[in-house]
């Protein structure tokens, strides 16, 4: 039962970072951006979990990472896909004001 709330918190963190810091992440694809954020969250969580365990750190780190990598990749892909659907598509060289004025004139 602990995996569901923690998974929701991680998804909330990745989604929030995509909405707020999307322009500052150096890639162009939203899927790549969200996968990078998701893998950064995985790395941070695994490092904290490794530091909390005493003895056999490498064992816990490797098992935890192997079990979490597919879940975090899937999370990043889904958030990036949903962000791409929500993100407004404006052609390069067109400002937001000119795109809005075109919409008003066509109506």
pLDDT of residue 96: 52
The mean pLDDT of 15-35, rounded to a whole number, is: 85
31 contacts: CB under 8 Å, gap ≥ 6: 76, 77, 80, 81, 84
Is the pTM here over 0.75, yes or no? no
pLDDT of residue 1: 46
- Residue 83 tokens read as 């962000």
Total of domains in the chain: 1
pLDDT over 70 at 25, yes or no:
yes
pLDDT of residue 6: 79
CA distance 45 to 91: 38
Q: Which residue has the higher pLDDT, 107 or 49?
A: 49
The mean pLDDT of 4-27, rounded to a whole number, is: 84
The mean pLDDT of 24-48, rounded to a whole number, is: 86
The mean pLDDT of 60-68, rounded to a whole number, is: 78
Full residue range of the structural domain in which residue 80 is found: 3-106
Nearest 5°: phi and psi at 95? -85, 165
pLDDT of residue 103: 58
């Amino acid at each position: 039962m602990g995996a569901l709330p923690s998974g929701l918190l991680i998804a909330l963190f990745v989604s929030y970072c995509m909405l707020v810091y999307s322009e500052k992440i150096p890639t162009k694809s939203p899927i790549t951006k969200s996968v990078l954020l998701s893998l950064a969250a995985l790395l941070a969580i695994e490092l904290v979990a490794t530091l909390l365990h005493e003895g056999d750190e490498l064992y816990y780190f490797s098992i935890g990472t192997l079990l979490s990598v597919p879940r975090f990749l899937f999370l990043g892909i889904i958030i990036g896909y949903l962000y791409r659907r929500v993100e407004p598509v404006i052609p390069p060289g067109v400002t937001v004001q000119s795109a809005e004025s075109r919409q008003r004139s066509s109506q």
